[in-house]
Structure 1
């Protein structure tokens, strides 16, 4: 496509706000809408185009807001609908858009829909959720009586027994997050009406949480040894009994998303955005989901690259092989080159901090590796996402004991691991590296005791390194991580080749250096990133780099011959 034909989001950058940890405005230690309003100039200065707001709806907070009890209000913890309206107005005044988190695979068990569904097997909303009796001949509550042997993403069974009715309900995540039954047309219409209500209010689109799980093949079958019930490639991370092939891109998923587009988005004025978060999605499926002619979603948010350091599970942490990362990124770049679109990210609220995971958070290389990783990501084809604090080089928190964790996934994993007799020290080591709480510590605005996040006691402690690593210290420093992010975002806005250029991988078998070109018409950019502590002679690896003209780099005093540890360089060729 030409720059004139390209949708606006191809050269946009999205910034994710996890409101609980962004900025507290009322001193209760929890971030809120008032705090976001206070910090909008930070986002405007950064240059981002879209604010993706993680859930702020009423919720019991079993999964930090991803368990919603009312889709059409704001939790008092975060503020009011009036403040949400004020946020929309303030963003639009700055030329930014608001992307709301849409969580419709499941609700809270305190949502009125589920309360009614649970009230009686004869309830008119009973089939708004997935209810099943115990297996034949077995008593409810017996693990063998569960309708399938599927395992929850948050440990344990996906089935919760309801004593009052003698049946089980399905929850792919926490037991307080029952799954909606999208086979029921009334459920779908209720969801679409809610989405239209938000768009009418001025919201510019949705990031759709685990949206490829809404279609389920629930015919009482157990998982096969690899979790698959159909022909096709294995899904990374699946295991015995997880049943994922029955709900990852299920049989009616394309039908549902096309219907959603038709019922909610078609014919609306304005530049909207739909992002489908899709664990386990393949490149081939992503082409279908994001083909404009099919009218489903604008882009996918996939997880292949953040599973490359997983062994048998995310807690079985393995070293990341650079060749594997290149193969994954290269496959997605090639697969969506002519049709479709991908989201680009290292960090989000579900992933540990990239500088600690994929980079080098030692004092010597933290700044350089943070900016190197950013350069690599932002120069790919796709829409880049910046997770709050990433633009400051925020790192994992130094958790001392298991008592410091708050995330339900982490807490449940530790409990399950202890029952299984695993070594507590080894489990704690894995939690320190991979827990979602690493991404949820408060944003580090300044060097004051609570990093400028709150005047009260923060709900999660602030990382002790905030004294040195904070926005105030970086704001006017031209060599800071923050300054480099500003440059990367500006480059995407200014250079059509960054958004739309063809991608070609170079040095696919090199263990440390990641290099590629982006080409649009006669404009060619060469991107070279050294993801290691080992220096390399650049011209030995890529002789034509000698003639390249500097466009952007993360280290000063460029040596045309030497690629230093964690150096990233963008050159114009030809």
Structure 2
């Protein structure tokens, strides 16, 4: 594929985490019929595609990312009939549906793994990564990304299986052609059903180094498996095969979650002529708040570093691949809490500024549910209120095994726990934010009476209606999608400003990332020229050569 105009470049994707979106039957868990109820809300917002986090059959060790049947629906979420209705009703409204494809691992309750455990001679044994113990201990020293060891012992066969995430998530052996046949057959089944593509979970991890050597412990308890799992030896061969056998046969959109991806790797995965995927998620801007305990930190990002990351990706993929634009997802904290200011004074204006900054870049923007309302991180008082397996395991490991003070760990959790994004969607100011008539599976954020969809949909100055305008501008102005990108004032610690150019038009985007008044000088090439303000999060002021930007102010001018 070359750099032609295609529909998925022009889309705005809305990510739904079904468990937390809308409960239709009062059991406290969001479901497919709840999503159907809210399709008109999504149509009104203007999004053109929905990415559904996993809805497949699952015992829910990792909230659906542990799949026991790829061709059935989780009981909590409804039935395949409900899914078919959702797909049909979404399509009627011009909304496409992409599914989460989770094929690095399955659940240990998947029929393949149940068979695999029966004996070393079972035909399904080679569907997973089994190894003999080494001198009576694990095959290597790898630590799981969810805490603890990456190997689980099976008494019956005196062998271990690999799980780079939870022990109930055994890794598939992609080196086995039968595994690839099964996965490709399943993908074809869903595409024949009429879905519009896949978001591929941790797809950069599917190929492991065969020797499985020990990893560097970096002074910790376990070895680092990343160098032997990320962008493994056969990952590109397997994705080319997937494209050839499945993806190329459909007019769909694919996006890979590519942990540890670089510009050069991104071009291999998603270059216009790569023959693999359409796009990949990169996470460099998510890592800017990392500290001595990895992601578990209360560190504030640096705008200089953020601009460097965005600038690198905007320029690095130019003409060769396409960017994915996002501030948040189901694995990340809330955008306004991490990159804006979630205080009462500046939450709304900074949420609008973040939306402006992201949606005016080149790439396909993703809106995570509640981001369009300016939903914030949550501060539960006790670890007992959290549901995320990664959060709970890391708390136990750091507090109970490593002696970290509980209050320090809780502060880290307040900043970066995945549960920040998983509290129920705040629909209105009634009990449980209108999410459920029952007891929600995870507590609702206490601020739902002030921050909710009902209060915002009819308020023309709300975050919701600002996002609605951002999305509509994208449909009206090709320059927002296809324009070239040029960074201004790279050394400014408070202002992110850039220019987009397309044919004879230019956009000037200016975003103040601080709570202080900041001065910005219009670039020489634009001084004295007439401009129209496309959008701003403050009442409009006259354009001047020197602009005084108010706290978290964002402006977009078209020349």
Residues 1:98 and 2:84 aligned together: no
Say whether the 8 Å CA contact 1:410–1:436 is kept in structure 2.
Answer: yes
Where do 1:428-439 residues align within 5 Å?
A: 428-439=410-421
- Deviations 1:181-227, CA, capped at 9 Å, x for gaps: 00000000000000000011111110000001001103031124679
Distance in 1, matches of 2:77 and 2:12, equals 25
Distance 1:351 1:341, change over 3 A: same
Match in the other structure for 2:289: 309
CA distance in 1, matches of 2:492, 2:523: 9
Structure 2: which 5+ residue stretches go unaligned?
Answer: none
| Alpha-carbon RMSD | 1.7
Q: Secondary structure at the match of 1:450?
A: helix
TM, length-normalised to structure 2 = 0.96
Q: Is the aligned partner of 1:555 residue 2:538?
A: yes
2:253 to 235, 252, 273: 273
Task: Report if the CA contact (8 A) 2:298-2:411 is conserved.
Answer: no
SS of the equivalent of 2:54 reads: coil
User: Does residue 427 of structure 1 match 2:384?
Assistant: no
Q: Does 1:319 align with 2:300?
A: yes
1:422–1:343: structure 2 CA closer, same or farther, 3 Å change rule?
same
Q: Please report how far the alpha carbon of residue 239 of structure 1 lies from its aligned counterpart in structure 2 after TM superposition.
A: 10
> Deviation at 1:451?
0.9
Match of 1:493 in 2: 475
Assess if the C-alpha contact under 8 Å between 1:539 and 1:545 holds in 2: no
Residue number among 189, 196, 211 corresponding to 1:204 in the alignment: 196
Aligned to 1:150: 142
**Residue in 2 aligned with 1:178?**
170
Q: How does 1:137-536 map to 2 (within 5 A)?
A: 138-139=135-136, 145-224=137-216, 241-268=223-250, 271-312=251-292, 313-418=294-399, 419-536=401-518
Q: Cα 1:126–1:362, aligned 2, differ >3 Å: closer, same or farther? A: same
Scaled by the length of structure 1, what TM-score is found?
A: 0.94
Question: What secondary structure, in the 3-state scheme, does the structure 2 residue paired with 1:505 have?
Answer: strand
Aligned equivalent of 2:118: 119
- What is the deviation of 1:290? 1.1
Displacement after TM superposition at 1:539 (Å) = 3.0
Contact 1:288/1:340, CA 8 A, preserved across alignment: no
Shift of the 542–483 alpha-carbon distance from structure 1 to 2, 3 Å rule, reads farther
Is this contact kept in 2: 1:526–1:572, CA < 8 A? yes
Q: Give the Cα–Cα distance (whole angstroms) in 2 for the partners of residues 308 and 199 of structure 1.
A: 37
On the 8 A contact 1:545/1:571 being kept in 2, the answer is no
- Cα distance change on mapping 1:491 and 1:219 into 2, 3 Å: same
**Aligned position for 1:142:** none
CA contact (8 A) 1:320 1:358 kept: yes
| CA-to-aligned-CA distance 1:400-448 (integer Å, 9 cap, x gap) | 1211111000000011012111111101111111110010001011110
- The 3 A distance-change label for structure 1 pair 567 and 393 is same
How far, CA to CA, are the matches of 2:425 and 2:148 in structure 1? 32
Q: Give the Cα separation in 2 of the matches to 1:2 and 1:120.
A: 49
| Structure 1 residues 240 and 286: CA distance shift in structure 2, 3 A | farther
User: Are the equivalent residues in 2 in contact too, given 1:447–1:467 (CA < 8 A)?
Assistant: yes
Asked if the contact 2:485–2:499 (Cα under 8 Å) also holds between the matched residues in 1, the reply is: yes
C-alpha contact (below 8 Å) 1:50/1:99 kept by paired residues: yes
SS in 1 for 2:461: coil
SS of match in other structure, 1:308: helix
Q: CA deviation at 1:543?
A: 8.7
Whether contact under 8 Å (1:105, 1:213) holds in the other structure is yes
Q: Is the contact between residue 210 and residue 276 of structure 1 (CA under 8 Å) also seen in structure 2?
A: yes
Q: Do 2:217 and 2:224's aligned partners in 1 also have CA atoms closer than 8 Å?
A: no
Whether the 8 Å CA contact 1:158–1:171 is kept in 2: the answer is: yes
Counterpart Cα distance in 2 of 1:239 and 1:515: 44
8 Å contact 1:538–1:545 — kept in the other structure? Answer: no
Q: How many angstroms apart in 1 are the aligned matches of 2:151 and 2:252?
A: 37
Q: In structure 2, the residue corresponding to 1:72 is in which secondary structure?
A: strand
Q: 2-side partners of 1:42 and 1:194: how far apart?
A: 31
CA contact (8 A) 1:287 1:335 kept: no
Gaps of 5+ in 1: 140-144, 228-237
Q: CA 1:130–1:545 in structure 2 vs 1: closer, same or farther (change >3 Å)?
A: farther
The CA deviation string for residues 139-177 of structure 1, in whole angstroms up to 9 with x for no partner, is 2xxxxx211211111011111111111111000100000
**SS of equivalent residue, structure 2 residue 71:** coil
Structure 1 segment 16-27 matched on structure 2, within 5 A: 16-27=15-26
Q: How many residues align?
A: 553
Q: Is the 8 A contact 2:73 2:79 kept in 1?
A: yes
CA deviation after TM superposition for structure 1 residue 476, in Å: 1.1
